[in-house]
Chain A
């Protein structure tokens, strides 16, 4: 390869990367940098210039009990939604992958929650959860139980939000599992049938390991979704009662737009980014090595 054609290749490659680079710079890198900068300054009061305060904003944030409550809520939310929705998605995918009557209809029914806009879904669920007139308490009432104030009781509210999220996410993840299941060669099943392998060990020894790349993909998605919850809270609880359902991104939103406190919002955002960076590192170093791609 001579020099000019090498240069030309480089230029070609660079041009191919350009659109992505421009988009990422505009919508990811620059906002990240400005956010980090904002988190190091205290805005001026009544026209005074902003003042550099170093890490003071972080100190203030870590002293804020609401922040810790919100962070803990978000952890509970992640632990509550991620494994459940993945397990449920896998179960549903296995179910609709088999031979059953009306398979297309069942698949569609499972997928429906995904198509609904979040705001619309949350509005529906608000009426499901309504204490006196809601669906759940009507059902409980019919069974002779007294109802629960799902969203109004601090000990129930976060759980109620989690249930709705699982409902919304499981159908979406099911589609990925279904696609992966259909990509598994039928010979494997035939071979193991000849060997007399039980269905259980076939699932754990063959199907599940082959689904690992999908599981990893779904896991990352579920994790992202657990951090970016804003819309349901908007409709369902507004983070209440008494911050019982307030999650990190909603807290960022509140600080930025309800309290006009851009500094705090930027500081929390940087903390979230750092945590996500740690998680991403773990993913690349540990999980990727244990995953077999076909």
Chain B
């Protein structure tokens, strides 16, 4: 005891000293992030942040939940204008052009120093990087990323006399199967629901891409909304209601759709894979997850949020932010994140971890979004993105609610977008 006391004292003193040291040198980071699906994702983030802080005591991260993607962008941009910019944030992957135009973010290429960091930057799925890169530089690191997948209710399929293990492969099958379910249920259950509020352009992009059509140019200065292939895609979407009587009239609400599916008021839904874990834990029936059906090709746009680092932060803060982002996107973490949410593991290394491998083995739907990535396309992203997306949203809604024909609606959206993009197209 006598011998020990001085030792304990020294240890204590050393501890105090190092604590003081840490406090003096510690870096405070603020991060805004969105949640656009149900479930207690804020808890998951809080736990990750706490774990990071215990591993990196010199860095404090304050993670602030800021609503959906649009709300989060607003919060971040207003904070920048108020001179209280966050150092990093998770924002919509398609906010890239706007953030660049506002000179708000820095490229990761300018921050990395070592080969190891270069390797990390190259470790993500190229399909997920598309929305985060411009002119050969990377500005956004994939984090809560998704594709649209088809959820189907196996029990409902069986009750309608369909093979419960056979999701629709193509447009025709989806319309037929949906109509069959609708008929067999005597009108109690809808066949399929595709959300048309929240992110209508995203769903439409999937239809268009399945019809072999990409809606925008690579450099974000042109859009092709009124192409015959796009019109045909919208006509098919509308026909699910008007011709096949398989989808309800009017627009379908993004926010309540999962509940619709869980209460079995629809046999199929298109939704982000980010809902997967929540559906899994709440469904009282057997369900499956499949790639979206195809027409001339398979396809889904990618979606979701990327990490960005802001220009206004000091160099030291930017480095610390990168340390945090590297930690968050590390294969082990990416795997855990994917398991807890349903969002994709962002790198192939994430799917090679034991955790995700055994999870996929036990629950195969977890791999669908990744497999579909092979057929993925970048999410609609252009200069003046908010206005251009809004024009397309309105067109889709006008067609779905019968106010305009798909052709009229899309050519009006094209005109509007052309007007907005005029000065960038030169």
Contact = CB atoms under 8 A, between A and B. Distances in A.
B4 interface: no
Contacts of B253: 126, 130-131, 151-152
B101 to A, nearest CB: 8
Interface in B385-426: 386-387, 390, 393-395, 397-398, 400-401, 403, 423
Nearest to A234: B71
B259 A130 contact: yes
B282 to A, nearest CB: 13
Given A132-B190, A240-B393, A259 B70 contact: no
A133 B196 CA distance: 17
Interface string B166-191: 00000000000000000000000010
A241 interface: yes
Contact of A243 (B77, B251, B384, B394): B394
B248 A257 contact: no
Contact of B256 (A45, A133, A237): A133
A113 interface: no
Contacts of A46: 101
- Main secondary structure, interface of B, reads helix
Given A126-B256, A132-B190, A242 B198 contact: no
B311 interface: no
Contact of A240 (B70, B256, B263, B397): B397
Contact of A241 (B196, B256, B259, B266): B196
Contacts of B401: 152-154, 241-242
A273 B400 CA distance: 36
B265 A153 contact: no
A126 B255 contact: yes
Contact of A127 (B74, B256, B265, B384): B256
Contacts of A237: 197
B417 to A, nearest CB: 12
A149 interface: yes
Nearest to A262: B81
B314 interface: no
A257 B77 contact: yes
Given A127-B256, A153-B249, A241 B197 contact: yes
Nearest to A66: B394
A232 interface: no
B15 interface: no
Given A126-B253, A149-B249, A241-B250, A254 B390 contact: yes
A284 B148 CA distance: 56
Contact of B265 (A126, A132, A151, A242): A132
Contacts of A154: 250, 397, 401, 403
A127 B259 contact: yes
Interface in B245-278: 248-253, 255-256, 259-260, 263, 265-266
Given A132-B266, A241-B401, A261-B387, A152 B256 contact: no
B256 A149 contact: no
A133 B250 contact: no
Interface centre among B98, B251, B252 (most CB of A within 10 A): B251
A260 interface: yes
B197 A132 contact: no
A238 B197 contact: yes
Contacts of A130: 253, 256, 259-260
B102 interface: yes
Identify the 9 closest CB pairs spanning chains A and B, nearest first: A152-B250, A149-B250, A152-B251, A132-B265, A241-B397, A258-B386, A153-B250, A242-B397, A242-B398
Interface of B: 70, 73-74, 77-78, 98, 101-102, 190, 196-198, 248-253, 255-256, 259-260, 263, 265-266, 384, 386-387, 390, 393-395, 397-398, 400-401, 403, 423
6 contacts: A45-B423, A131-B252, A132-B263, A151-B253, A241-B196, A259-B387
Given A153-B250, A240-B394, A259-B390, 11 more contacts: A127-B256, A131-B248, A132-B248, A132-B265, A133-B263, A152-B252, A152-B401, A153-B401, A257-B73, A258-B70, A259-B387
